[in-house]
A and B are shown apart, each in its own frame.
Chain A
Amino acid sequence: MLTFDNIVVAIQGATILRRVTFRIDAGQTVALIGRNGAGKTTVLRTVMGLIGPAGGRLGFEGRDITAMRADQRPGLGIGYAPEDRRLFSAFTVEENIRLPAEVARRPKAEIADTLDRIYSMIPELKEMARRPAGQVSGGQGKIVALGRALMLGTKIILLDEPFQGLAPILAARYGETLKALKATRPDISVLITESNPSLLKPFADRTLIIERGDLSEIMNDEPLVA
């Protein structure tokens, strides 16, 4: 459903992604592993259109979306939780989660339904719902960002280093949430980046390695489905 075909990305003359090619099929959970600065975040930002590739072709469900405007992409069913969360501190947690759907002018009933589903999957979000997003801790913020990504991310969600900086108990909780997501919505694809490969073993169907902009795939001996 998501295909990178020889994508090249350069920022200020420095090449960040070198002819990156891979595909993710519907329902797959894919780990993207690499060191800091290897290009993981750039892969996700390219999917969101926040950075334009200098070459190659980006496909989504058979469409070429290489040139599509960034603001039109979430509406395709792509949710994105950036590494630094990027919540809007002017709003409450619930307003943050709802906003993408409101921007997309989804009907009220549909928004309420999706919100209920997100709350039943991640109950702690409901407890935080009325709190200003500026006041939740960094770890809680990651979970809020996941909830927000799920609002429009009905086809694929992109999670950028979700475990980075999480206290062990929150990391375990985040992991459970991902398992719950896979159990209730097996149709949603997930692309997770991480610098520590062992963390994602329990979730990932496939593992991609990125090093200095070069991407390769590790063939798992057996698919590790949680």
Chain B
Amino acid sequence: MTSDLLLIAALDGIAYAALVFLVAVGLTLIFGVLRVLNIAHGSFYALGAYVAASLGIGIAASKISPWLSYPALAVAAAIVGIVVGSAIERLLLQRIYDKEEVLQLLVTFAAFMILDNAQRLIWGVQPYFVATPLQLLGNVQIGGITYTVYQIIVLPAVALLVLAGMRLFLRRTVSGRVILAVAEDREAARAIGINVPRVYLWTFVIGSILASLGGSLASPTTSILPGMGTDMLVLSFAVAASAGLGRIEGAAITALLIGLGRSAAVYWAPELDVLVPYLIMTLVLLVKPQGLFGTLQARRI
């Protein structure tokens, strides 16, 4: 009985960690390159979920193959990331890169509020529930526990693919190296011919697509409600901060840590459920203020 519960908690934790990782890695990538903590990041998660749900409802209504709802999840993420992401970067962030951090926080917070209300305007406040992708793949038995294939295989697989893909992209392609170069030293990057504003735009769009992908992949597993972006934003921030902002592999490990910690709390100390991620973050930052995988770095001016 206890071991069953342990297993269930572990499976829950893994499935959840996969989603948190996708959002957190986007946040940490954007911070690492643009040096802006993007509060509006949570909106991309919510928008990804809403757009995926709308596409899913459209697919169900039009009686075409329900299997199309899987590519629809990716399409939703791409649409939100590219359209909303590039609009926010070009119209808003581009004006505030040289400004103080407080102002940057306020501006992205304002963008978050605007997007949050835009969601209510478009989709209303009633919850959406589109579980087709969850149901189509059926269940799998793991140690006597029945779990959905979608949550325990598809979600972690996508997270691992994104992690491996990011590593390959950043290390092995010129575009990836250009992003790393800008992250390390903007001015030196310009001096070797890198178009820094364009790199900012790409990076922001990639980070936004990752957050939207987290949302669209989460949409079959949860009811889509106003405010869902806030929870995920704070959680992904806890993950990114515990790992050390800008650390991609570190974010994967802390996402797992926080995902498992949270699901353990759900079963054994439900009253602490909301608190556990922050407890983990606080403990980590007390011991290592720069994050588990962060390095102390002199601020460049």
Query: Does A associate with B in a complex?
Result: yes
User: A-side interface residues toward B, CB under 8 Å?
Assistant: 48-50, 69-75, 80, 82, 86-91, 95, 99-100, 102-105, 148, 152
Contacts known (A86-B185, A88-B185); A48 close to B177, Cβ less than 8 A: no
| Chain A neighbourhood of B178, CB < 8 A | 99, 103
Question: Interface size on B (CB < 8 Å)?
Answer: 17
**Is B195 in contact with A88, judged by CB distance below 8 angstroms?**
no
**Is B181 in contact with A86, judged by CB distance below 8 angstroms?**
no
**Is B193 in contact with A75, judged by CB distance below 8 angstroms?**
yes
CA gap between A187 and B187 in the complex, in Å: 28
CA gap between A103 and B190 in the complex, in Å: 11
7 residue pairs of the A-B complex, CB under 8 angstroms, read A48-B190, A74-B191, A80-B191, A82-B191, A99-B177, A102-B177, A103-B174
**Is A90 in contact with B193, judged by CB distance below 8 angstroms?**
no
| Chain B neighbourhood of A70, CB < 8 A | 190-191
| Chain B 268-282 interface mask (CB, 8 Å, partner A; 1/0) | 000000000000000
CB of B4 closer than 8 Å to a CB of A: no
**Is B177 in contact with A95, judged by CB distance below 8 angstroms?**
yes
Residue of chain B at shortest CB distance from A148: B192
**Is A50 in contact with B194, judged by CB distance below 8 angstroms?**
no
Contacts known (A50-B187, A89-B184); A74 close to B177, Cβ less than 8 A: no
**Is A102 in contact with B184, judged by CB distance below 8 angstroms?**
no
| Chain B 53-75 interface mask (CB, 8 Å, partner A; 1/0) | 00000000000000000000000
CA gap between A69 and B185 in the complex, in Å: 18
Contact partner of B193 among A50, A74, A88, A95, CB < 8 A?
A: A74
Contacts known (A71-B196, A88-B184, A90-B184); A102 close to B174, Cβ less than 8 A: yes
**Is A103 in contact with B191, judged by CB distance below 8 angstroms?**
no
Tell me how far the C-beta of B170 lies from the nearest C-beta in chain A, rounded to whole angstroms.
9
CA gap between A102 and B173 in the complex, in Å: 10
Tell me how far the C-beta of A142 lies from the nearest C-beta in chain B, rounded to whole angstroms.
14
Tell me how far the C-beta of B282 lies from the nearest C-beta in chain A, rounded to whole angstroms.
30
**Is A71 in contact with B184, judged by CB distance below 8 angstroms?**
no
**Is B193 in contact with A86, judged by CB distance below 8 angstroms?**
no
Q: Name 5 extra pairs, CB < 8 A, besides A50-B187, A88-B184, A95-B177.
A: A70-B190, A71-B193, A71-B195, A86-B185, A86-B187
| Chain A neighbourhood of B187, CB < 8 A | 50, 86
Residue of chain B at shortest CB distance from A79: B192
| Chain A neighbourhood of B184, CB < 8 A | 88-90
**B177, B183, B193: residue with the most chain A Cβ atoms closer than 10 Å:** B193
CA gap between A99 and B183 in the complex, in Å: 15
CA gap between A115 and B267 in the complex, in Å: 60
Contacts known (A86-B185, A88-B185); A100 close to B192, Cβ less than 8 A: yes
**Is B193 in contact with A100, judged by CB distance below 8 angstroms?**
yes
Tell me how far the C-beta of B224 lies from the nearest C-beta in chain A, rounded to whole angstroms.
38
